[in-house]
Amino acid sequence: MDNSDRKHITILGSTGSVGRQALDVIKAYPELYKVHVLTAGKNARLLIEQAKLFEPDIVVIANESAYAEVAQALRKTDITVLAGATALNEVAEMPEVDIVLAAIAGFSGLLPVVAAIKAGKTIALANKEPLVVAGSFLMELSRKHHATLLPVDSEHSAIFQCLVGEDISTVDRIYLTASGGPFVGRDLTFLSHVKPEEALRHPNWSMGRKITVDSASLMNKGLEVIEAKWLFDLQPDQIKVLVHPQSVVHSMVQFIDGAIKSQLGAADMKLPIQYAFTYPKRMAGNVERVNFLNCPELSFYEPDIKVFKNLTLAYKALEYGGIMPCVLNAASEIVVEAFLNYQIGFTAMSEVIETVLEKTVQIQQPGLDDYVSVDREARILTNEAILHLI
């Protein structure tokens, strides 16, 4: 393959955990991939390092106050430097790009994904929040503009891989596996005294702070349930969660005849990232291989929803539908930040989220403007609820 045949890739969120691992994949296969755009939120230093190494055509720093620093550092290169949220949307729809890796954490990743969908792009979707917040809207938009959504989240990539060659109508249910984080088997008394540094000690995965805390509270799995509903056109009662501490089985599909297919692998995000980049082909991968002689026991448990209430709240938001998953996501982002800042306790996160869901007025068929305005309102409500606890 000559260089003209390389896939041009935009990485939205290149300085985060997924973005950095995606660049590792690209670095391993320079003959296959060309970085066209790199974007970062506020980590100007790392964005500059990445730009000098991978020589993209464009970089975007969302934090406009960091524009001068990035532009000055890259002034002797041919790299165009842009800044601000509008620039993120613009680079997501550029015609030169073959794949957009959406890895901007949180609600801020929604509008660039909308832009990429409207441009009919192939989107490697690593941030679950867009489908959590606006699943129905985005799936309809994808059909309208013939965009392709390829899941990068390890669990959804596993389901996607299990469904290759299968008829979705033959699916009885899916099982999303959860490591359980660092607090498997713990009770509410223990969790009420948990400190942020304990919640950030994930036993298997290396991830960002927000998703690591969400993993510890099972909110991450709740958000994945909502995402799976839209990605695979399933009903909520078809989506089950199993705690699987070894993180070897990344998820499973059970079919109507009783057969089960599962996808197994090392706890390494480079595997689903590479699969999204090469789909429908598979390429040799430089990731650790699972050795079953070293993991003779694979265990599975039902999650304790009385202790880990966030999972119940996610199912409830999905059942309510409409604007409620958007509210759940907004409240989750705020309470995790408050927990990490030692403002509220670990178990208080669920209490606050539930309060915000109860106080929000439902919008059954929201549009894009509704998602933006309700996200803002839910954050205000969440901060008010936190103040009442302090």
Q: 135-152: per-residue pLDDT in tens?
A: 999 999 999 999 999 999
Whether 315 is in a domain gets the answer no
Per-residue pLDDT at 189:
94
Structural domain of 383: 321-390
3-class DSSP assignment, residue 311: helix
Whether 301 is in a domain gets the answer no
Q: Which residue is it, tokens 């003209």?
A: 4
For residues 315 and 241, is the Cβ–Cβ distance under 8 A? Answer: no
Whether 265 is in a domain gets the answer no
Angle 47-50-51 from CA coordinates, rounded to 5°: 85
Whether 347 is in a domain gets the answer yes
Length of the chain: 390
Last residue of a domain, one of 109, 135, 151: 151
Whether 290 is in a domain gets the answer no
Per-residue pLDDT at 1:
44
CATH of the domain at 61: 3.40.50.720
Burial class (CB in 10 A: 0-12, 13-18, 19+), 238: middle
Amino acid of residue 25: V
Q: 13-67: per-residue pLDDT in tens?
A: 999 999 999 999 999 999 999 999 999 999 999 999 999 999 999 999 999 999 9
- CA dist 275 and 255 (Å) reads 23
How does the average pLDDT of the chain come out, rounded? 94
Question: What's the total number of domains in the chain?
Answer: 2
3-class DSSP assignment, residue 257: coil
Q: 351-380: per-residue pLDDT in tens?
A: 999 999 999 999 999 999 999 999 999 999
Q: Per the structure block, which two tokens stand in for 91?
A: 């680079």
Per-residue pLDDT at 184:
85
3-class DSSP assignment, residue 313: helix
Whether 299 is in a domain gets the answer no
CATH of the domain at 387: 1.10.1740.10
Whether 279 is in a domain gets the answer no
What is the DSSP track for 136-193?
HHHHHHHHHHT-EEEE-SHHHHHHHHHHTTS-GGGEEEEEEEE--GGGTT--HHHHTT
Asked if the model's pLDDT at residue 4 lies above 70, the reply is no
Contacts of 129 (CB under 8 A, 6+ apart): 105, 106, 107, 109, 110, 223, 329
For the chain, what percent of residues have pLDDT higher than 90?
Answer: 88
Nearest alpha-carbon partner for 224 in 359, 325, 307? 325
Q: What is the DSSP secondary structure assignment for residue 107, as one 8-state letter? A: G
Last residue of a domain, one of 106, 131, 151: 151
Last residue of a domain, one of 151, 177, 195: 151
pTM of the model as a whole: 0.93
pLDDT band at residue 206 using 50, 70 and 90 as cut-offs: confident
Q: 95-143: per-residue pLDDT in tens?
A: 999 999 999 989 999 999 999 999 999 999 999 999 999 999 999 999 9
